[in-house]
Amino acid sequence: MGLGDNSASSPFVGLERATWARLSDELEQPLDDADVRRLSALGDKLDLDEVREVYLPLSRLLALYVEGTDSLHSVTTRFLGEHRRRTPFVIGVAGSVAVGKSTTARVLQELLRRWPGTPKVDLITTDGFLHPNAELTRRGIMDRKGFPESYDQKALLRFITAVKSGASHVVAPKYSHLTYDILPGEQIVVDNPDVLIVEGLNVLAPARPRADGTVGLGLSDFFDFSIYVDARTRDIERWYVDRFMRLRSGAFADPASYFHRYSQLGDAEAVSTALDIWKRINEPNLRENVRPTRGRAGLVLSKDADHSIHHMLLRKL
């Protein structure tokens, strides 16, 4: 599906990277090489140019959107005659497994923290709301991890409702890529930040219809802004396989890793194992559930084969 580009009939404004970069070329680069190394996830390409040309303008736009929301909040409280803090500005970051969402989310968190209006920026990933492996096994959907039915949607909705009600000390469960399961008893606390980034495959999915056909609220109904990280499927597949190969000699080598058995595989077997997981689980999920939500985003960031972002689509307001 094309989303259109700069035509009167498209709901998006399309910008090439160079044009986008000029939108804040007077701003100073706030990060250094060490920050970039710390923020980029395994296999993702991130460099100082990418931060300056792509993420810095984006952080400015988001800081302006937060200011706009502050103004709306002020007029609303004045209208209601009450004094209440603004609820956290929630940004959803969606996209395929292995597309690099976590790098995008972490860079934005770091940059937004440096804007005066948003010093406190929290980040959560939706994997914490996956059903534990025991429950996925009981339901016979262990090979559907990441599909909408693998999440505890009610808990996710309760979480975001509490955050957007202005509640303090809202807790989210934690997932471990090492054990490939929910970490029992561990949680992340979200305590009224200025901004909350919610990163996950399916964060833009609309609510699923109930048995009686009615449709309630979905996670994305609570977003103030959302970003879809996009790339060609064949590039993401390659990134997935490359990452699997690196994990084989890294994280998988830990005997506690769920994938420890894969650390013993030879190169050819490791590639075919990664491709099998990709083809059976992640690629169908991308095709059936994740990419169809792309047009719901406020901003689509499109990546080239080398992971660099080359094009942006910003929703018209």
Ligand X SMILES: CC(C)(COP(=O)(O)O)[C@@H](O)C(=O)NCCC(=O)O
Ligand Y SMILES: Nc1ncnc2c1ncn2[C@@H]1O[C@H](COP(=O)(O)OP(=O)(O)O)[C@@H](O)[C@H]1O
68 marked as part of a ligand binding site:
no
Which of ligand X, ligand Y, none interacts with 274 (beta carbon under 5 to 8 A by kind)?
Answer: none
Least distance to ligand Y, CB of residue 107, Å: 12
Segment near ligand Y (CB under 6 A), from 18-26, 66-74, 98-106, 107-115?
98-106
Nearest CA to 280 among 150, 119, 145? Answer: 145
Q: Six-digit token pair at 88?
A: 């956290």
Q: Which of residues 83-112 bind ligand X (CB under 6 A)?
A: 97
Segment near ligand Y (CB under 6 A), from 10-18, 27-35, 93-101, 205-213?
93-101
Q: By CB under 6 A, is residue 171 in contact with ligand Y?
A: no
308 marked as part of a ligand binding site:
no
Least distance to ligand X, CB of residue 201, Å: 4
Nearer to ligand X, 62 or 286 (CB): 286
Nearest CA to 293 among 223, 220, 225? Answer: 220
Q: Give residue 179's identity as a one-letter amino acid code.
A: T
DSSP letter assigned to residue 307: S
Please name every residue paired with 170 in a beta bridge, in sequence order, or none if there are none. Answer: 190
> Rounded to the nearest 5 degrees, what angle is found at the Cα of 69, between the Cα atoms of 67 and 70?
60
Pattern 36-55, binding to ligand X, x per CB under 6 A?
Answer: --------------------
Nearest CA to 97 among 221, 196, 238, 223? Answer: 238
174 marked as part of a ligand binding site:
no
According to DSSP, the β-strands at 195-199 and 12-16 are unpaired
Q: By CB under 6 A, is residue 42 in contact with ligand Y?
A: yes
| Main-chain dihedrals φ then ψ at residue 89, nearest 5 degrees | -80, 120
Q: By CB under 6 A, is residue 259 in contact with ligand Y?
A: yes
The string over 157-186, giving b where at least 16 C-beta atoms fall within 10 Å of a residue's C-beta and e elsewhere, is bebbebbbeeeeebebbbbeeeeebbeeee
Q: By CB under 6 A, is residue 274 in contact with ligand Y?
A: no
Q: By CB under 6 A, is residue 281 in contact with ligand X?
A: yes
- Contact, 76 vs 53, CB < 8 A? no
2 marked as part of a ligand binding site:
no
Q: Six-digit token pair at 19?
A: 């044009």
Nearer to ligand Y, 247 or 313 (CB): 247
Q: Six-digit token pair at 135?
A: 């429950």
Pattern 184-203, binding to ligand X, x per CB under 6 A?
Answer: ----------------xx--
> Rounded to the nearest 5 degrees, what angle is found at the Cα of 46, between the Cα atoms of 44 and 50?
140
Q: By CB under 6 A, is residue 218 in contact with ligand X?
A: no
Which of ligand X, ligand Y, none interacts with 277 (beta carbon under 5 to 8 A by kind)?
Answer: ligand X
Q: By CB under 6 A, is residue 136 in contact with ligand X?
A: no
Which of ligand Y, ligand X, none interacts with 247 (beta carbon under 5 to 8 A by kind)?
Answer: ligand Y
Please name every residue paired with 173 in a beta bridge, in sequence order, or none if there are none. Answer: 187
Q: By CB under 6 A, is residue 208 in contact with ligand Y?
A: no
Least distance to ligand Y, CB of residue 29, Å: 23
Return binding residues for ATP: 95-102
Binding site for ligand X (CB under 6 A): 97, 125-127, 145-146, 200-201, 277, 281-282
